Structure 1
Amino acid sequence: VVMEHGDLVGMLTFREVIQTIVANGGQTGNATVRRAMDDHPLTCTAETDLDEVRRMMLDRHARYMPVMDKRMLMGVISFYDVAKAVVDSQNFENKMLKAYIRDWPEEDTNG
């Protein structure tokens, strides 16, 4: 995350570094963070729904997203974090459904 005077101005990840090296024929050359970074990174807040974060990350092929509270950087969420939360939620739902099915009352066949 690249901050300048308290403002988010960009994001530099391994992807941007590799893109810069490829664009420079395998060298870093005179590359700077400012020229290599994504100067319009996706951001979210701590209140953003995880499904929305997942959709935004998939749409932009982003692996990391700064979590902001107005101008303050609160942290960075990764695609792994989002995927893990989705899987954990699905596992919990799966366990609840299995318990519901297991506890289903038997039908009275003598009726």
Structure 2
Amino acid sequence: MPKALPVIDMSAPLCCPPVAAGPVDQNSALEVALRLKAIADPARVQLLSLLLTSPDGQKNSGDLAMAVGLSESTVSHHLGQLRKAGLVESERRGMNTFHRARRDALAALCTVLDPNCCR
């Protein structure tokens, strides 16, 4: 049976020294790995892309499901994983739930992987 990963709070953007700065400790490595695991799925990459390129920066679950060709329940599952990783935030408005990518969390993840990435 595979070893279960510990549960950690990933609601805040990642904040640890860049991987290239020196050997990372076990907790920092775990935080990075859990966030990368959350986006290591083609549907989740597509969902993030749709959210990041949306003109108003948000989309509702139905529109996302239609765009990626998956059921709303499947999209909700994927968004839940991205939300647990702190990469997406959601807001319920009436019968709809609108989702936004957390650019600060994505930028922090990029910086941890390579501090010279976006300069």
Higher CA-based Rg: 1
Which structure has the higher relative contact order (CA within 8 Å, separation 6+)?
Answer: 2
Q: Which interval holds the TM-score relative to the shorter structure?
A: under 0.3
User: Under a length normalisation based on structure 1, what TM-score does the superposition of the two structures give?
Assistant: 0.25
The structure in which a higher percent of residues are helix is 2
User: Under a length normalisation based on structure 2, what TM-score does the superposition of the two structures give?
Assistant: 0.24
